[in-house]
Amino acid sequence: MKALMSSVIVPWQPPHPKPRIPVVCCSTINGSSSSSSEVNLQSSQPQECKSSNAEEPKQSEIWRLFREAQKNILHLNQHRLKAVEDLNKINIEKQLLVDRIEQLELEKQTAVAKPQDRLSMFWEILLRIDSMVLMGMVTTAEASNLRRLVMDHKVSVAEVFNDTLQKSDAEILAELRHFSERNPRNGFHIVHVCTEMAPLVSVGSLASYVTGLSCALQRKGHLVEVILPKYSSLDLDEVQGLQEIEAECYSYFNGQLHGNRIWTGVVYGIGVTLIQPLYYSSFFNRERVYGYSDDFERFTYFSRASLDYIVKSGKQPDVIHIHNWETAIIGPLFWDIIVKQGLEGTRVLLTCHDLNSQCLEHPEKLALCGLDPARLHRPDRLQDTTKAHLVNVLKGGVVYSNKVVIMSSIRSKGRVIHSLSHGLDHTLNIHKNKVVIAPCGFDNSTWDPSTDNFLPQQYSVKDMKGKAVCKAALQQHLGLSEHASPILVGCIFSEVSDVDLENLRAVFLKARRIDVQFIIKGISKISIVNKLGLVHEPLKDKNVRFIDGHDEKQSHLIFAGSDIILCQSFHDPVLQVPLKALKYGAAPIAVNSNDDGFRNFVEHDYETTNFSRFISSTFGNMSISQALDEIRNNPLKWKRKIMDAMEMDFSWDAECCDIHASAYTAINNL
């Protein structure tokens, strides 16, 4: 049967019936023989027909059975061929899977890891060294040498110690001591002591700044780590290798030493240390990050605990980077108390994101963290300029830091010091030589139209076809007319003031007379669309759409599909709308209260950022009416502006990172 099924099946045909041959019989009549063929033939015919009629049903049944068997064999053969085909596919897939498993095993054996994985392994080793110091396995001096060794051999160490999580501290220490090669060191060791870091805890612009700048600095060869309070509300999903160091770390506060739990992990390749107070456990076990009457005590405790931890763990960073008033107290703490504990080579850099928030307190509270109130309550130190009976914590950070970076994308250094310093102008003017201005950046690994997986078609300055596809997709998604002629204007706001509402109303009413489509999206925990209803009701129009809530894919599509993006300011450190608009080939036009509705003037001072100078020469002084006119009447000029903007790099890796690296270099040369 197997041989039969494997052969070619030929349909069976019944044989042709043989011709009947007449039978001639000889008979004897009256004793004589004679031929009687005629008689015999006649007599034999009825007998032969009778026999033939009996065989015909049997032959028909046989033929029917053969035909049925033939059909069954053909059907089985088809199933057999299909089964063989499926089996071949399964064998091919199985072989591919086996090959992939072998490849992964080979990569594991040879420690072939992605750069992010290498950074994670690298940081696991450094954090294990911290644990060794706290548990008394190594001295602070040896720990410092081991850190230098790891930092100088970042890639090779990550490959040698690829299974750190499976090894004990003693095993890692023994291997580190045998890893004796030395190479010259290039980058700086920077420790951020801060109150926010994306994605662990995000309230304002500080969170994305700390993460974005840290990643950019590490990509350029610097070693960066972050120390945070262990808030009960932390989002720990992105933390790799989170573990508690078994030894307690004590810090000074209110005349006593208090124990802290220390947690370590890695976030986006950055080493993170979390400090959890034991006695003052309620300090960071709250619903909000800021806004409590004891915020000074909370963040002063954290600042002192961070410095004590740095000393206890034997770290000797080049720079301790502090942020806003919440950790500005580290400036006087470091120079009056901590520097003498083995950190003579360390310098302090302060970043100010909001000069309006300064924290004024009674001088005697400085004693909580070990500072001398009488020594610091002086005009040239922490005494507030306006309220002389109080101390100004942010002022103390400015005075005691080696460098001060003020984050401002469009304002010049002179304008910030003299007009936007909220009473700190006298102090900033005295220390102006150590003040620098830096712009915010954005994450170009997530926001880049040439690699953006949220878009229906990616595009770049070299091939802009995808932008038209994105525009049509956005129009279709929101039920707008998909004709190519309308200009599409996107608006993305986190908050909307009454002034903005009036400006929006004026612009929409004016734009109704021309072919312009508007998309207004609110990104906030509180519904902005409800507030925008004041604009929406009188402007129920087929060319206007209002959207509320956070939708990542939708936000990307709005940037990609819009010709113009209206934004509240060119300095937008939280949403970074102008920077993303430029990258996606949409012109940012900023909101301001003048008769035209939207306009923003930037300065031409030489001590401004590259971003400010670029904006001032392109879209900074352009109203929405002027932008619409140029798109219609001078499309080639407009296209050139857009393409020039897309080629600019305003990410964290560019100007922002360079300014900070220069600041680190300057203070380490002091």
CATH number, domain of 588, equals 3.40.50.2000
| One domain for residues 434 and 481 | no
Q: How large is the angle between the packed helices 465-478 and 552-561, nearest 10 degrees?
A: 120
Task: Give the whole-angstrom CA distance, residue 333 versus residue 300.
Answer: 10
Integer CA distances (angstroms), 261 to 251, 268, 348, 576, 652, in order: 11, 23, 25, 36, 33
Q: Highest mean pLDDT: which of 61-70, 538-547, 552-561?
A: 552-561
Query: What pLDDT shows up at residue 594?
Result: 45
| One domain for residues 170 and 251 | no
In this model, does residue 501 exceed pLDDT 90?
Answer: no
In this model, does residue 164 exceed pLDDT 80?
Answer: no
What is the overall mean pLDDT for the chain? 82
Over residues 293-311, the mean pLDDT reads: 97
Query: What pLDDT shows up at residue 106?
Result: 63
Cβ–Cβ < 8 Å for 544, 508? yes
89 is a domain residue:
no
In this model, does residue 87 exceed pLDDT 50?
Answer: yes
73 is a domain residue:
no
Query: What pLDDT shows up at residue 52?
Result: 56
| One domain for residues 207 and 281 | yes
Q: Which of 670, 491, 636, 480 is nearest to 563 (CA)?
A: 491
Cβ–Cβ < 8 Å for 406, 352? yes
Location of structure tokens 């680190």: 664
Over residues 253-258, the mean pLDDT reads: 97
Q: Which residue has the higher pLDDT, 113 or 335?
A: 335
Query: What pLDDT shows up at residue 584?
Result: 98
| One domain for residues 368 and 279 | yes
31 is a domain residue:
no
17 is a domain residue:
no
Q: What percent of the chain has pLDDT over 70?
A: 78
Over residues 572-589, the mean pLDDT reads: 95
Task: Give the whole-angstrom CA distance, residue 469 versus residue 144.
Answer: 55
Q: Which two tokens stand for residue 137?
A: 């396995």
Q: What percent of the chain has pLDDT over 90?
A: 54
* 154, 182, 210 - which closes a domain: 182
Omega into 15 within 30° of 0, i.e. cis?
no
pLDDT digits (tens, 9 = 90+) for 367-379: 999 999 999 999 9
Query: What pLDDT shows up at residue 157?
Result: 54
The lowest-confidence range among 39-48, 166-175, 188-197 is 39-48
Query: What pLDDT shows up at residue 226?
Result: 98
395 is a domain residue:
yes
| One domain for residues 195 and 159 | no
| One domain for residues 416 and 533 | no
Task: Name the pLDDT band for 625 (thresholds 50, 70, 90).
Answer: confident
Query: What pLDDT shows up at residue 548?
Result: 79
| One domain for residues 519 and 599 | yes
Give the count of alpha carbons within 13 A of 377, CB side only.
16
At position 65, the amino acid (one-letter code) is: L
Q: Which domain holds residue 595?
A: 464-651
Give the count of alpha carbons within 13 A of 541, CB side only.
20
Cβ–Cβ < 8 Å for 510, 628? no
pLDDT digits (tens, 9 = 90+) for 600-620: 445 555 578 999 999 999 999
- List the 223-229 sheet strands across, edge first: 240-253, 256-267, 270-277, 223-229, 189-193, 319-323, 347-352, 403-407, 435-438
Cβ–Cβ < 8 Å for 330, 265? no
The count of structural domains within the chain is: 3
| One domain for residues 422 and 486 | no
pLDDT digits (tens, 9 = 90+) for 47-60: 454 555 656 777 78
| One domain for residues 124 and 207 | no
Phi first, then psi, for residue 406 (nearest 5°) are -105, 125
| One domain for residues 302 and 214 | yes
pTM value is 0.74
- Per DSSP, the residues of 286-307 read SS-SS--TTHHHHHHHHHHHHH
Cβ–Cβ < 8 Å for 122, 158? yes
Over residues 302-306, the mean pLDDT reads: 98
550 is a domain residue:
yes
The lowest-confidence range among 52-61, 133-142, 173-182, 498-507 is 173-182
Query: What pLDDT shows up at residue 187?
Result: 85
- The DSSP output letter for 462 is T
Q: Which residue has the higher pLDDT, 107 or 302?
A: 302
524 is a domain residue:
yes
In this model, does residue 213 exceed pLDDT 80?
Answer: yes
Task: Give the whole-angstrom CA distance, residue 244 versus residue 275.
Answer: 10
Cβ–Cβ < 8 Å for 308, 252? yes
* 182, 203, 230 - which closes a domain: 182
| One domain for residues 157 and 255 | no
Cβ–Cβ < 8 Å for 213, 438? no
* 132, 156, 182 - which closes a domain: 182
| One domain for residues 339 and 222 | yes
- The DSSP output letter for 366 is G
In this model, does residue 536 exceed pLDDT 70?
Answer: no
Query: What pLDDT shows up at residue 25?
Result: 41
The lowest-confidence range among 52-66, 265-279, 403-417 is 52-66
Query: What pLDDT shows up at residue 100?
Result: 73
- Beta-ladder partners of 270: 267
Query: What pLDDT shows up at residue 129?
Result: 81
Task: Give the whole-angstrom CA distance, residue 449 versus residue 429.
Answer: 42
516 is a domain residue:
yes
